[in-house]
Amino acid sequence: MGTANGGDADGPDSRRALRRLPAVHVVLGDERLAEAAGRLGREAVVGAVRAAIGEARDGLREGRDAGGDPRGLASRALAILGGTRPALRPVINATGILLHTGLGRSPLAEEAIAAVAAVARGYSNLELDLDDGERGRRTAGVARLLRGLTGAAAATVVNNNAGATMLALRAMARGPGGVRGPTPEGGPALAPEVIVSRGELVEIGGSFRLPEIFEAAGVRLREVGTTNRTRLDDYARAIGPATAAILRVHPSNYRIVGFTEKPALEDLASLARARGLPLIDDIGSGALGPGMPGGLADEPTAAEGVAAGADLVLFSGDKLLGGPQCGILVGSASAIRKVEAEPLMRALRVDKMTLAALEATLALIADPAHAASRLPLWRMIGADVGSIRRRAERLAAGLRDELGLDASVVESESFLGGGSAPVSPIPTAAVRVGPPFPAGSPSESSWARALRRGDPAVVPRVSRGAVLFDLRTVAEAEEAGLLDAIRRSCHDRWPDAGPGAGVDHGGPTP
């Protein structure tokens, strides 16, 4: 019977090729499969090898060259086994982007991890007051710590800062100005309106745009000023019958420099109070106040927002705070009561594991000297360039001596990422590996792909024809795993990734 390529699937050539397919035990002799058997169990590996041989057999019967050599079959078995790995797994971040959104932003402190494990393995008093046996408030513990750290009268927590922003807009729009009667012309009631500067209409990663949050919250956006200059008088003139609140947003992932102007937060708070309006201050990046890592002088803090008179200050938990993903709201007791009374609050509330991680993180921050050494993010920010360079030189020497790679140490720049401090690079040292790349990786992109597909997965930086490993974002405890992953990538063969397959982080990224 003929085949699509003109061959005979039942002919003597096909039968000879089928007989040449290696036995299962021959393919199992590949050292990569032996290592996989140690991790996944021999039964799973044997099953994958049989499946790979079966695919090759079917291909030959269909008249296709199915790649029946032992090494190729072992690679196919590894690919099959890759489908059995968890979709979410640990990654070694060698990009130099400390708050890399794609890699989960801030790592947690050991104390936070222990707190999560403690409440995850059994029951907890999530919403039970152990003193009186009555129902309690799930955010009570973190609220107490947040009040002490920011000076706010009250606090609460939701799933992320986008949720916090939407919730704050909805809740504050129901206060003064939020419910309106007929217009002077006798038309329908006016929808509540929130005033914001044109220079603060941000878009962050994942096409999240502030105007869309306004729409989802059911309030109207009133833009004032220009992109680079907004005065206090612009806000004052915009206040009208439908005005429900004033919103200030920290443009955390970009900067406008040069001919700029904006009112001080204290002046904006005074205007809001004089007109009976709430002021919402969305600082985004999550710096709490005194004791935060050095080099972040341009980042506003929650404590400053509260002291200036904002009714609500909103920020993320997994950025400069160094904790879990969540949105934190601190401010006046009346504003927090309105937020927690919103029906949407239940849809956005956080679980026990998030609260446990956040409480442990806040407890560390209460002692800034302790936090600097215990919070991984703060430790990475404060790492000395000299110590990073020494680690990089050690890794580069190993790559040259053991693997024969063209590895050298270069001066480079790390970035906070995550929409924080976009114009404040952090000096660092990186290991640069240039061509020729390991066998089976004809380009920097294909080698980067091989590293990402390894176990552990390694995400390096691809820049100007080379692969860079920035050790500021690699913990010392991960160095052995990094070297082992690079070593294995030099021995495994992967298909070329094609153009653009690398992760190029030459500058600040989400």
Q: pLDDT (tens digit, 0 to 9) for every residue of the chain, 510 residues total? A: 444 444 455 556 667 778 888 999 999 998 889 888 888 889 999 999 999 999 888 888 877 666 678 888 998 888 888 766 677 889 999 999 999 999 999 999 999 999 999 999 999 999 999 999 999 999 999 999 999 999 999 999 999 999 999 999 999 986 444 444 445 555 556 679 999 998 888 776 556 688 888 888 889 989 998 878 889 999 999 999 999 999 999 886 566 666 778 889 999 999 999 999 999 999 988 788 766 776 666 788 999 999 999 999 999 999 999 999 999 999 999 999 999 999 999 999 999 999 999 999 999 999 888 888 999 999 999 999 999 999 999 999 999 999 999 999 999 999 988 555 555 789 999 999 999 988 677 899 999 999 998 888 999 999 989 999 999 999 999 999 999 999 988 876 444 433 333 344 444 333
Extract the tokens encoding 304: 């400053």
Gap between the Cα atoms of 71 and 440, Å rounded: 13
Q: CB of 336 within 8 A of CB of 306?
A: no
Residue ranges of the domains in the chain? 12-82, 91-103+381-491, 140-181+189-374
- What's the pLDDT at 369? 80
Whole-Å CA distances, 88 to 28, 63, 134: 27, 38, 38
Q: CB of 409 within 8 A of CB of 371?
A: no
- What's the pLDDT at 393? 98
- What's the pLDDT at 458? 97
- What's the pLDDT at 3? 42
Calculated CA dihedral for residues 252, 258, 259, 264, nearest 10 degrees? 40
Residue 269, phi then psi, degrees to nearest 5: -65, -40
Gap between the Cα atoms of 458 and 309, Å rounded: 45
Q: Say what the pTM is.
A: 0.80
The CATH architecture one would assign to domain 91-103+381-491 is Alpha-Beta Complex (3.90)
- What's the pLDDT at 505? 43
- What's the pLDDT at 299? 84
Gap between the Cα atoms of 77 and 80, Å rounded: 5
Residue 256, phi then psi, degrees to nearest 5: -110, 120
The CATH architecture one would assign to domain 140-181+189-374 is 3-Layer(aba) Sandwich (3.40)
DSSP annotation of 128 reads: B
Single out the residue of 412, 409, 408 nearest to residue 428, CA to CA: 412
3 state DSSP class of 93: strand
